[in-house]
Amino acid sequence: MLSRHGRDLRVDAKIPGEDTGIAIRKTLCSICEYKCLVDAYVKDGRLIKVEGSPGNPVNDGTLCSKGAASRQWVYNPDRLQTPLLRIGERGEGRWAPISWDEALDRIAARLGALKIESGPESVVFFAGYPKVMRPFLKRLAHTFGSPNYCTESSTCFAGTTIAGLLTYGYGLGQQGGAEIDQTRCILNWSTNLFYSQAPLGNRILDALDRGAKLIDVGPLRSLPAERADIHLRLRPGTCGALAMGMAHVIIEEGLHDRAFVEAWTQGFEQYRDYARQFTPDVTERITGVPRETIVAAARLYATTKPAALVTSACTTIHHTNGVQNHRAVTALIGLTGNFDRPGGNHIVPSSYYRPTGLAHREHAFEQTRPWAEMAPRVGQDRFPVWCRTVPQGQAMALPEQILGGAPYPIRAIVGFGLNHRMWPAPDHMREALRALDFFVDVELFMTESAKLADIVLPACSTFERNEFSISPNRYAIWTEQAIAPVGQSRPDVDIIIDLAKRLTPEDELMAQGHAACLEWIFAPAGLSIAELENHPGGMFLAGRPETPYEKYRKTGFPTPSKKMEFTSTVLAEHGLDALPVYREPMQSPVSTPELARDFPLILTTGSRLPMYIHGRTFRVPWLRRLHPDPTLDINPADADARGIAHLQWVEIATPRRALQVRANVTEYVAPGVVNMIHGYPGADANELIDPDYLDPVSGHPGYRSLMCEVRPRPAANGGSR
């Protein structure tokens, strides 16, 4: 079909077929970690269109704005094209292209020398985004002899894992195994899935259409808050107090599951006595949530069966009291008898490749050397509970150890997607990277962190590699390589395997390649990559045993007491509060009233806009145009008191630093609270936070509760950019 200008309209319409030369290849979007399935339209070797892959159970044909902009991500002019060797001063920006063999040989030689000079522990192997390479990098680190495998989970979901392990012996994982599709009541605690994992947000809407009740907890008036039957708008950092206040109502009114509590819990009497302090009036004074709302929410959650608790990976734990906050929140599951029951929070054994309940050998693959045979991990002295419960180092301790040299020197980092702006006070981590003897970064783009490296290696996007993924409902895919790698870029896993051939040649399994390693990991489940190759759009892994409910009745809980622990044995052994004790954030109007005189507003940061994830997509033109300038959300009452107009440039200041952003005057935030999107180039909220503003249990930064002030800026200083 030709137009009057002689053009083939079917090609212009991007209709696939032999006559148009357009093919559809099945792949994944991994800009975030939800792993939506994508139909990649390819012509003449180039990606010309992306759509959500219809009919699959992950995203069923939908894509968020990030996935829809994939072509601008893949063909971004900032993409790295070749391995680069630094030839000037660190950070100067002078590079020479080198071959892959030269780059890998140089890396292997330098790391081998450092291993001899300072021990293998002097080398850190760091995994940021994407996460697909993690089991392989951890294996490389430990086979090399280094205990210091670290990841961006040092600021992410690992805190929720710790809280779950301390209480139930299970990490719970993101959403805590909430069976949204079967439940009658959703307690949505400080998460907006519509912005972070849109397909799961759609499942919540489906549940509401079926008549499920929704209780939303959080300081922001998000979409879940707007749709909720009850919204508990609390002061940031007070989740633990609110959870204990709900527990008070549930226990005092006899709404808890007595049979479960009496048979399967440790420390209930102490927990009950502690909860008595959190009467509705006391809890209202702490959290700002009206007492009537607290009581109504507690009753609705406890009496509507089954009920499921949905939590974010991060929001409850990004506080200096985060782990105990999350322990208090998740204790409500067991208290009400919704733990590991249909329609409640079903615990499915997990692997790095998602909670599927499939048998696997992932731990054996990763942990090639026991911890006892290696030096102490980074952060082990400062965060012993972290190192007891999380099988990696705590990267928040890296800057101090690099700069201070104790308890031993850290001299090199091999980073995959390392972003120093992940750290609070990122200038402090930047200084540490500059102090290293050797720094390698594997990236798609020449980021600020990559500019500090000695060697930069170009990585592929998911469209340029094979990738394995399993959804929680056991829909597995081994993706097609949709297009050839951009420039000389290579898949992250292949880069690790090539390094292993040089650094750990004794590792015969790794040398067999990505697919062979996956088959070894999932051999107990009978998973075959060859079979998946015959189903390029993915397939359900049928015929495997389903994960039963109420597993504790047969085996007990995997805690020291074999019970759910209201009082944590592990925390008590480390001299910490065994109960989920509520303590004010290190900075708050209550804990630091003298600071609040000059910085009277509570800053919470780390929430997302739907087009951005961390610092990753600001360079994508389609997405940046949707929200071009850095902003903070401020309530109209606070804006009026400061003479601030909507979208005016303002200065946000903490005791550490000040930044200039636009003011979004909105009821989205409550009076007294300021919300700032993180990651904006030139206005990084993490610069406002001190490097030691950390949870003493997890080491996670207190991104979401600290004190600040917002001031108008004169037009000459802040009116334009």
| Tens digit of each residue's pLDDT (9 = 90 or more) over 608-640 | 888 888 888 889 999 999 999 999 999 999 999
**Final residue in a domain of this structure, among 283, 311, 346:** 346
The per-residue pLDDT for 720 is: 36
Mean of pLDDT values over 168-197? 84
Mean of pLDDT values over 69-75? 95
Q: Are residues 198 and 280 in the same domain?
A: yes
For residue 541, which phi and psi values (nearest 5 degrees)?
A: -90, 90
> Which tens digits make up the pLDDT trace of 596-613?
999 999 999 988 888 888
Q: Are residues 262 and 129 in the same domain?
A: no
Domain housing 492: 84-156+359-468+479-540
Mean of pLDDT values over 669-682? 93
List, in sequence order, every beta strand (DSSP E) within 402-483: 412-416, 438-443, 455-458, 468-470, 475-478
**Final residue in a domain of this structure, among 540, 555, 582:** 540
pLDDT-derived band of residue 119, with 50, 70 and 90 as boundaries? very high
Q: Are residues 118 and 202 in the same domain?
A: no
Q: Are residues 246 and 337 in the same domain?
A: yes
In a domain, 7, yes or no: no
- Say what the pTM is: 0.95
Question: Rounded mean pLDDT of the chain?
Answer: 93
In a domain, 577, yes or no: no
Task: Quote the CA–CA distance of 528 and 311 in Å, as a whole number.
Answer: 33
Please, is 296 exposed, middle or buried when counting C-beta atoms within 10 Å of its C-beta (0-12, 13-18, 19+)?
A: middle
Number of domains composing the chain: 3
In a domain, 546, yes or no: no
The CATH number of residue 137's host domain is 3.40.50.740
The per-residue pLDDT for 714 is: 65
Residue matched to tokens 């994944």: 28
Mean of pLDDT values over 132-153? 96
Q: Are residues 701 and 641 in the same domain?
A: yes
Mean of pLDDT values over 117-137? 93
- Does the pLDDT value for residue 20 go beyond 70? yes
Percent of the chain with pLDDT over 90: 80
- Does the pLDDT value for residue 718 go beyond 50? no
The per-residue pLDDT for 713 is: 87
> Which tens digits make up the pLDDT trace of 541-593?
888 888 899 999 999 999 999 999 999 999 999 999 999 999 999 999 999 99
In a domain, 564, yes or no: no
The per-residue pLDDT for 5 is: 56
Cα dist. 422→227, 362, 473, 685 in Å? 32, 27, 31, 10
Q: Are residues 233 and 152 in the same domain?
A: no
**Final residue in a domain of this structure, among 346, 369, 396:** 346
For residue 195, which of 617, 694, 628 has the smallest C-alpha distance? 617
In a domain, 550, yes or no: no
In a domain, 117, yes or no: yes
- Does the pLDDT value for residue 371 go beyond 50? yes
Task: Quote the CA–CA distance of 701 and 424 in Å, as a whole number.
Answer: 7
Please, is 229 exposed, middle or buried when counting C-beta atoms within 10 Å of its C-beta (0-12, 13-18, 19+)?
A: middle
In a domain, 307, yes or no: yes
The CATH number of residue 623's host domain is 2.40.40.20
The CATH number of residue 338's host domain is 3.40.228.10
1-25 burial, b for 16+ CB within 10 Å, e for fewer?
eeeeeeeeeebeeeebeeebebebb
The per-residue pLDDT for 498 is: 98
Cα dist. 692→424, 433, 687 in Å? 8, 18, 12
In a domain, 519, yes or no: yes
**Contacts with 345 (C-beta within 8 Å, 6 or more apart), sequence order:** 172, 176, 177, 178, 179, 308, 309, 333, 338, 339
Structure tokens at 43: 């012509």
For residue 430, which of 703, 135, 422, 438 has the smallest C-alpha distance? 422
> Which tens digits make up the pLDDT trace of 447-488?
999 999 999 999 999 999 999 988 878 889 999 899 999 999
Percent of the chain with pLDDT over 70: 97
Mean of pLDDT values over 302-326? 94
The per-residue pLDDT for 84 is: 98
Q: By the 8 A CB rule, do 693 and 320 touch?
A: yes
For residues 676, 156, 625, 26, the Cα torsion angle rounded to the nearest 10 degrees is: -160
Q: Are residues 237 and 295 in the same domain?
A: yes
Mean of pLDDT values over 709-717? 77
pLDDT-derived band of residue 505, with 50, 70 and 90 as boundaries? very high
Mean of pLDDT values over 257-284? 98
**Contacts with 577 (C-beta within 8 Å, 6 or more apart), sequence order:** 324, 571
Task: Give me the amino acid identity at 202.
Answer: N
Q: Decide: helix, strand or coil at residue 450.
A: helix
Mean of pLDDT values over 378-405? 97
Mean of pLDDT values over 524-532? 91
The per-residue pLDDT for 60 is: 86
Higher pLDDT, residue 504 or 536 = 504
Mean of pLDDT values over 658-673? 97
For residue 655, which of 718, 712, 593, 595 has the smallest C-alpha distance? 595
Q: Are residues 534 and 652 in the same domain?
A: no
Q: Are residues 496 and 635 in the same domain?
A: no
> Which tens digits make up the pLDDT trace of 297-311?
999 999 999 999 999
Q: Are residues 309 and 182 in the same domain?
A: yes
Mean of pLDDT values over 38-62? 92
pLDDT-derived band of residue 200, with 50, 70 and 90 as boundaries? confident
Q: Are residues 701 and 612 in the same domain?
A: yes
Please, is 43 exposed, middle or buried when counting C-beta atoms within 10 Å of its C-beta (0-12, 13-18, 19+)?
A: middle
Q: Are residues 145 and 188 in the same domain?
A: no
